[in-house]
Structure 1
Amino acid sequence: MSADLDQVLSKSLQQRADAGSPIDPQPLLHVAVARGRRMRARRRAATLLAAAAIAGTAVITVWLPSQHATTPVSPAPSPSAALDVDLAKLPAADGQPGAAARPDLVGSDPGLLHFSVDTLATARRVAWTSAPGLETADVQRTDFQVYVALAQSQQRFSALPLAFSSGPRTEMSAPVGVSLGDREATLSTSRPWKEKNGLEGRIYAFEWQPVSGLWARVEVQTTSQERAEQILRQVRFDQTRRCVLPFRPSSLPAGATVPDCDVALAQDSPAVFRSGGWTVVDGQRRLSVQAHAFEPDTDDDRPPLKAGPYHAYADPDGRSWTMRVDGLLITATVETRKNPFTQAEVLQILGGLHIAEQVPDPGTW
């Protein structure tokens, strides 16, 4: 990525933050710039990520277990509502209890999400994460945005870098007590900003225990507390979804595990899949494996390396490897400098990837 483009991204993201939108531009910029220094095909993927970040911020919602929403929340008037599409495509985890029934399972299995945001997922982008002790969802719609986090402990919410309230320019009020159904909660709000429709938008951040042993934090960007609570009630704690990707590991080095999963779907992605991946962990060693949708481009002057049935390409820095398979740009990046994964181990992991037969269809992942 050229220095000029770095400056353009930095200026655009900073202008968005100065305008009052509750997004922290620095982490997004760092990701875009870091990826942009790689090969031309990977620069295109990074530019897509940065553009998506500039276009809108992330969001999600949570449902109260004493109620059961069966219809999507009514949309607010929006001239661009037609851009939203149904992204409720994560498959159900049949036979697996939701967070309301088994809060002790939240954040215990990277392949499961113990809640559902399906009735909110008519959206531009939806993302999910399952990590040790934490599960999140992120729904970006044209009429509202929400960030949701579930954990067994409230302390797990002390560091949520993607939450709206964590932005350096975002000022939140002191929490006040509110009721959500028969549960007590706290609510903090941000300073207002003007929406395009002339209404005032705010961040409404709720924190409460839907059931004993389960904590939820939901941050909604919308125009009133009443609407924020209406949106919040759409999250289902009595359902479980699978965190799935169009690629999965089948060959790991001895002793290595995969403790997390993240996946994002978007209406403007070539095959619905936007990005996602997981981390390979062995003691203190960590290897990030991430994929992004990309337009086919075979122009690469690096010598190929054999990775099972695939060809991988090593970056000059010796810390990352890429390969292109079925519209996916897959990147493996060493995250630890001391005793890192070797190239042979990385090629073993990449060579053992199982690619879905139907990448555009999450039901086949």
Structure 2
Amino acid sequence: MTDLDQRISSTLRERAEGAVDTNRLTARAVAGGRARRRRRRAGAGVALGLTAALGAGVIAGLPSTGPAPQLAAPAVVAVAPPRADGIPGAAARPDLIGSDPQVLHFGADPARVRYLGWEVARGVESVQIDVGSGRAVTVDLARSSGALRQRPVEGLPGELGNLAAEAAFDGRAVRLGPDARPVLIRHWHPASGLFARAVVSEGTAAELLVAADLLRWDQARRCAAPLRLTALPPGATLAGCRVDLGAFPQALSATMTLTRTGERWMSVGLQYAQGVAGGRTEGNRTIGGRAAYLYPKGDQLELLGFPKAHLIADFGWPTVGFTEADATALLAGAQVADDLTRPETWQ
């Protein structure tokens, strides 16, 4: 038995509320983990239909207390969102969760995890981390269970939002879908007034426990991105910030979301990939002396001239309430980091 086998088996025994066949559970977890590590899948999405989701089960013996198992630190430690000194963490001020689209009121130990992304949107703060297994564990944090119910789990039908009902926050791991491609979800209260959800696709319950153990509720971090907006259209406010680093430094994306009164939305996204050979050079618009391109449907405007990257403002369906003029004003004030692979230059 390997060291990882022993740690998982030990954890299951410590947390068991009744008799648990640890040999069988450990063998399944380790065998599945080894096969998936060979594939090195870090994505969180998995295509599951409602029929498969109805075959959900609960993995017993995983309450919210007790020591978490230990996994090796990721081989590659990627960039972490920088500390936001002077801003209290979630444990001290749970009322601040989701209140500022540029601040995460919790984080993870950057020496023990690899950040794959972070996001603040619609009252929920999220991080995606690799705790050493090669898979993405997504952790969502909110001030209420209702906020999590409004935020769907990627790859699962929206009808399963009732999984975030008040009674679900008991620390157990719930398995959805068939054994071949399960999604594991765990809801718990890290502290008074905090509602947390951890999700891993095709992973193990041990990964959810490790992720929870490595989270830090006494710190705040900035939603730093290689894209900065210095001017917003009239009446618009910044509503969301998302950074995806699953393939960093070979590729990354950053998206900022704007809103206006009356459920009006617009987004601007930066997508970068080292493998991009070239890009559009001739535009049909000009923004601040730079070439820009309005796409044929008239609802996307791209500012040109960024090597291996696209900077596009999207004001089309399903959102309404913003125009080409708004997108022009937004892109005119957009600033992109000189070197997208150097996070220390991000804002």
TM-score normalised to structure 2 length: 0.69
CA distance in 2, matches of 1:97, 1:67: 26
| Alignment match, 1:328 | 309
| Alignment match, 1:74 | 71
Contact residue 322 and residue 332 of structure 1 kept, 8 A: yes
Distance change in 2, residues 1:360/1:256 (3 Å): same
Q: 2:87 aligns with which of 78, 88, 96?
A: 96
Q: 1:131 aligns with which of 121, 126, 144?
A: 121
| Alignment match, 1:190 | 176
CA distance in 1, matches of 2:211, 2:255: 28
Q: 1:24 aligns with which of 47, 54, 65?
A: 47
Alpha-carbon RMSD across the aligned residues, in angstroms, is 3.8
| Alignment match, 1:275 | 253
Q: Which amino acid aligns with 2:173?
A: L
Give the drift of 1:132.
2.8
Give the drift of 1:228.
3.4
Contact residue 286 and residue 335 of structure 1 kept, 8 A: no
CA distance in 1, matches of 2:272, 2:318: 28
Q: Which amino acid aligns with 1:264?
A: D
- C-alpha distance after superposition, 1:168-210 (max 9, x if no partner): 899x9999x99xxxx953432235635xxxxxx8543221221
- C-alpha distance after superposition, 1:76-99 (max 9, x if no partner): 9xxxx8xx5212431111111111
| Alignment match, 2:32 | none
CA distance in 2, matches of 1:250, 1:287: 16
Contact residue 77 and residue 110 of structure 2 kept, 8 A: no
- Matched residue pairs, number? 283
| Alignment match, 1:58 | none
Q: 2:211 aligns with which of 231, 243, 248?
A: 231
Unaligned runs of 5+ in 2: 1-43, 50-63
SS of equivalent to 1:86: coil
CA distance in 2, matches of 1:190, 1:228: 14
Give the drift of 1:298.
3.8
Q: Which amino acid aligns with 2:104?
A: L
Contact residue 67 and residue 233 of structure 1 kept, 8 A: no
1:364 aligns with 2:345: yes
CA distance in 2, matches of 1:218, 1:315: 38
- C-alpha distance after superposition, 1:43-86 (max 9, x if no partner): xxxxxxxxxxxxxxxxxxxxx9x9999xx95239xxxx8xx521
CA distance in 2, matches of 1:264, 1:111: 15
Give the drift of 1:338.
8.4
Distance change in 2, residues 1:151/1:363 (3 Å): same
CA distance in 1, matches of 2:271, 2:112: 20
CA distance in 2, matches of 1:168, 1:120: 35
CA distance in 2, matches of 1:67, 1:311: 58
SS of equivalent to 1:230: helix
| Alignment match, 1:286 | 265
CA distance in 2, matches of 1:259, 1:173: 26
Distance change in 2, residues 1:314/1:107 (3 Å): same
Contact residue 222 and residue 228 of structure 1 kept, 8 A: no
- C-alpha distance after superposition, 1:197-233 (max 9, x if no partner): xxxx854322122111111011234665445323321
Unaligned runs of 5+ in 1: 1-20, 27-63, 195-200
| Percent of aligned pairs with the same amino acid | 29
Q: Which amino acid aligns with 1:293?
A: Y
Q: Which amino acid aligns with 2:105?
A: H
SS of equivalent to 2:326: helix
Give the drift of 1:265.
1.5
Distance change in 2, residues 1:348/1:67 (3 Å): farther
CA distance in 1, matches of 2:163, 2:234: 49
Q: Which amino acid aligns with 2:327?
A: V
Q: Which amino acid aligns with 1:126?
A: L
- C-alpha distance after superposition, 1:112-145 (max 9, x if no partner): 111113448754x711110131111123565443
Contact residue 97 and residue 123 of structure 2 kept, 8 A: yes
Distance change in 2, residues 1:121/1:308 (3 Å): farther
